[in-house]
Structure 1
Amino acid sequence: MAVDHSRTPPAVPGLPLLGNALRMMGDVQGFLVDAYRRMGPVYRVRALNQTFVIMAGERANRFLIEHGEDVFTSEESFGGLNRQFHMRVHVLNGRPHRHLRRQLATGLSRDLLAARWDEVMGSTERAFGSWVGERALPVVDRFQRLAADQLSVAFTGASSAARFETLRWAFELVLDVTIAGKWPRVVLRRPAYRRARAEILAFARDALEHRARNPHSGPADLLDQALTAVDENGHPYPPEVRAGMALQGYFAGINTVAYLYSFMLYALLRNPEVLARVRSEVDAAGPLTFAGLRHLPALHGLVLETLRVYPPAPGSARTAAKAFEFEGFRIDRGRRVLVATSVPHQLPEHFPAPERFDIDRDFAAARRAAVYAPFSVGGHTCLGAGMTEVLAVATMATLVRRLTAALPRPDQPLRITATPGPNPGKGFTVAVTARRA
């Protein structure tokens, strides 16, 4: 059948002026799946003044893996992170991108968690101890604070807790402006933001200077990698790029990790049979060690199933660097594209009974088929994905061993918000008590 090269993707019906904004401001993953079922594997959505082409389904994931480097650029979507905080890895392509990813990956490895296990778990235990007795604990906020502490200790050897408020506010504002388009770019010119940005960049430079003066004997972490990093031609990266590398360890992964923790806790409380399995497994495990994490299959299943149902990255935002065709439709150069990599998570042909929360699914086969993609697929897959999964196992093991939590209204469905990434929102609270053996 001949392809009509003039065909443009169909538009999802929406409201005047708002378009599809209201639906996309909530459960964006649910919206993308519903639209895929109604419209097919490629369609257009509009949210206020922004229009995106959505590519979804197994073939879209394969397309991103096989052709992403050739047809897409990340500059429009992620250029703000680079312009504001010099996180260059998000906008590079080809050899320069692969080279910088390799250097960052060494400084974000799970080996660092093993080397700093006692410090990371110590901060986790202290945080959970401070939660006891709270009747309406704000889950997302507390997990963000915990994740910031865990990641900064693991990746840099020092906590960033003292600057948490500044880091979170500035980072989320940049994401809302440059990626989500929630606010106009002019807000990044306001004095309060400019002061916060200057403080954050100075903090990164000071951390690097302190490490240069005070080397340590442990495995090389992200600060060490930033100090010695060279580009693909062997030339030292400029100081601002080194600062951007350091910041990856202080707050780049805070939201991804914190939102995963939050959804995991909700999944446990809504699925008591899963909670019973996980708690029994943890209780039988004895002292929690880094090596022992591999022997907690129910907890690993909980992490992976939570990522299936509540993926931290429902899609990969890109811009078409040149015109191309997908599934019989033409996507023009300059078009904003979202490859909805997690749509297959909710399709029964890939995950039988996708509405069921099942920690015993075969995620290895789904990964190989590129239909399980909570952290995207292809060359821009999240650098910290492996660390996130391991840290989630350790954190939830500690939580179910130390604490008992309860939903204030168990039958009330979770209200998901889309920005700066899919999360349960500020209204998600639990009551916390210390667990008694």
Structure 2
Amino acid sequence: MTPPPAAPGLPVLGNALRMMGDVQQFLVDTYRQMGPVYRVRALNQAFVIMAGERANRFLLEHGDEVFSSEESFGGLDREFGMRVHVLRGRPHRHLRKVLASGLSRDLLAARWARVTAETDRLLGEWAGQSALPVVDRCQRLAAAQLTIAFTGASSAARFEQLRSAFELVLDVTIAGKWPAATLQWPAYRRARADILAFARAALQDRADHPTAGPPDLLDRALAATDENGEIYPLDVRAGMALQGYFAGINTVAYLYSFLVYALTQHADVRVRVRAEADSWDGSFTGLRDLPALHGLVLETLRVYPPAPGSARTVLADFDFEGFRIERGRRVLVATSVPHQLPEHFADPERFDIDRDFAAGRRASVYAPFSVGSHTCLGAGMTEVLAVATTAMLLRHLDLTAPARPLRITATPGPNPGKRFTVAARARAAG
């Protein structure tokens, strides 16, 4: 067996420029040119790309056997004790189950009034701004919502510190944007120490002052034991707590940002979903009666997936589509490439909120949060909260985007970039 072919690229830079921009479009275009497996190079990094329906199926069925996530995600564990990202097999399944119980939609329902009150307050601050920085405001909104739901209190006072530290770790350890020595900067080391101390203090405060209602992420972390019934070390339990404090800063916020863009670009969709938002009674249970808004969220995830690929390292040689992929190779399974293929989604360039997303999920070709054992733990919560947030936004605001092309950036995750702004004004009565 021969190694996969190399995708054409520039001297020295390789494929870096395109992968630093709209990486999803790059992966789709290169799949069409090169087929389901090929090699790319971005400066000092090299990857084998696996893409298409069979790649998704391979990750789903064989990922735990042949891949490790330690090299790609180990930084989150080393820096913040977020061990779930690097475990495999039974230990991984067990810790995911523990975390999932503290990141559930039941918590969102139990704290619905507080989450929606904070959402209304923050959206109210958007009104009257002629150049609202969408990504920044969506990050602040999502982080506040999810920390209230997962921990009972907003982390707004620590938002800047949490965001800068988390994004730096992602840029260094996953994206390879900066050298590893960057994580030795004194300012970062101080911020990291403060964040870890904050997480430990939050756990201690919860132990000293239990709350009523369903157990949240802090409660689960306090009582968490490993697959053998042994209490997790404090750094792992603090890392579990930090899953809640870091939640929303990237994936959820970027989805919100792309939803804002979609609403400004598709007037017919905007009219339809606004009418549905106006009919909503504001309750958590009433969210199930908003099919157009659900379709908007799912179609936005199809066109602008927050996780276009899953980065892994090969543990044992294997063959895929006639090529040998060797042990030690870094692999990116481009799980969202099928989103843009007409054999899976008819007329994929059309923005269509009425697609059959359930069928795509069953076939593992609709995969905005990846597939397999490392699928995003908060995927269900993200979709529900995005529906509610979009409905509240539509009720209160009219948004207008400048008439210029969207410039997507790939790091720390695909997002519309800091330059994406909108004019926001309070919606006229009636």
TM range (shorter): over 0.9
User: 2:265 maps to what in 1?
Assistant: 270
> Per the alignment, in what secondary structure is the counterpart of residue 130 of structure 2?
coil
Asked if structure 2 preserves the Cα contact closer than 8 Å seen for 1:320 and 1:333, the reply is yes
User: 1:30 maps to what in 2?
Assistant: 25
Asked if structure 2 preserves the Cα contact closer than 8 Å seen for 1:101 and 1:383, the reply is yes
User: 1:59 maps to what in 2?
Assistant: 54
1:418 aligns with 2:410: yes
Q: Deviations over 1:387-407 (max 9, x none)?
A: 000000010000000111101
Q: 1:335 aligns with which of 297, 308, 329?
A: 329
Q: How many residues align?
A: 429
Q: 1:371 aligns with which of 350, 365, 390?
A: 365
Asked if structure 2 preserves the Cα contact closer than 8 Å seen for 1:19 and 1:48, the reply is yes
1:258 aligns with 2:253: yes
User: 1:124 maps to what in 2?
Assistant: 119
Asked if structure 1 preserves the Cα contact closer than 8 Å seen for 2:82 and 2:243, the reply is yes
> Per the alignment, in what secondary structure is the counterpart of residue 339 of structure 1?
strand
Asked if structure 1 preserves the Cα contact closer than 8 Å seen for 2:147 and 2:247, the reply is no
Alignment of 1:261-300 (within 5 A): 261-285=256-280, 287-300=281-294
Q: Deviations over 1:365-421 (max 9, x none)?
A: 000000000000000000000000000001000000011110122xx2210000000
Shift of 1:284: 2.0
User: 1:100 maps to what in 2?
Assistant: 95
User: 2:353 maps to what in 1?
Assistant: 359
Q: Scaled by the length of structure 1, what TM-score is found?
A: 0.98
User: 2:422 maps to what in 1?
Assistant: 430
User: 1:165 maps to what in 2?
Assistant: 160
Shift of 1:283: 1.2
Q: CA–CA distance in 1 between the matches of 2:217 and 2:275?
A: 36
Aligned-residue Cα RMSD (Å) equals 0.6
Q: CA–CA distance in 1 between the matches of 2:186 and 2:78?
A: 17
Query: What amino acid is the match of 1:400?
Result: L
Shift of 1:252: 3.6
Alignment of 1:33-52 (within 5 A): 33-52=28-47
Write out the 4+ residue segments of structure 1 that deviate beyond 4 Å after TM superposition.
none
Asked if structure 2 preserves the Cα contact closer than 8 Å seen for 1:253 and 1:384, the reply is no
User: 1:115 maps to what in 2?
Assistant: 110
Shift of 1:253: 3.6
Q: Deviations over 1:190-214 (max 9, x none)?
A: 1000000001000100100000000
1:303 aligns with 2:297: yes
Shift of 1:254: 2.1
Query: What amino acid is the match of 1:76?
Result: E
User: 2:214 maps to what in 1?
Assistant: 219
Shift of 1:327: 0.5
User: 1:14 maps to what in 2?
Assistant: 9
Return 5+ residue gaps in structure 1 as ranges.
Answer: none
Q: CA–CA distance in 1 between the matches of 2:123 and 2:171?
A: 30
Q: 1:175 aligns with which of 164, 170, 178?
A: 170
Q: CA–CA distance in 2 between the matches of 1:415 and 1:74?
A: 29
Q: Scaled by the length of structure 2, what TM-score is found?
A: 0.99
Query: What amino acid is the match of 2:244?
Result: G
Q: CA–CA distance in 2 between the matches of 1:96 and 1:182?
A: 30
Q: CA–CA distance in 1 between the matches of 2:388 and 2:38?
A: 40
Shift of 1:217: 1.2
Q: CA–CA distance in 2 between the matches of 1:241 and 1:263?
A: 33
User: 2:380 maps to what in 1?
Assistant: 386
1:319 aligns with 2:317: no
Q: CA–CA distance in 2 between the matches of 1:281 and 1:394?
A: 11
> Per the alignment, in what secondary structure is the counterpart of residue 242 of structure 1?
helix
Q: 1:194 aligns with which of 189, 194, 203?
A: 189
Asked if structure 1 preserves the Cα contact closer than 8 Å seen for 2:183 and 2:189, the reply is yes
Q: 1:209 aligns with which of 204, 208, 211?
A: 204
Q: CA–CA distance in 2 between the matches of 1:94 and 1:423?
A: 32
Q: CA–CA distance in 1 between the matches of 2:375 and 2:249?
A: 16
> Per the alignment, in what secondary structure is the counterpart of residue 313 of structure 2?
strand
Q: CA–CA distance in 2 between the matches of 1:382 and 1:254?
A: 14
Query: What amino acid is the match of 1:431?
Result: A
* Greater alpha carbon shift after TM alignment, 224-233 vs 244-253: 244-253
Query: What amino acid is the match of 2:370?
Result: S
Query: What amino acid is the match of 1:375?
Result: F
Q: CA–CA distance in 2 between the matches of 1:432 and 1:36?
A: 39
Query: What amino acid is the match of 1:116?
Result: R
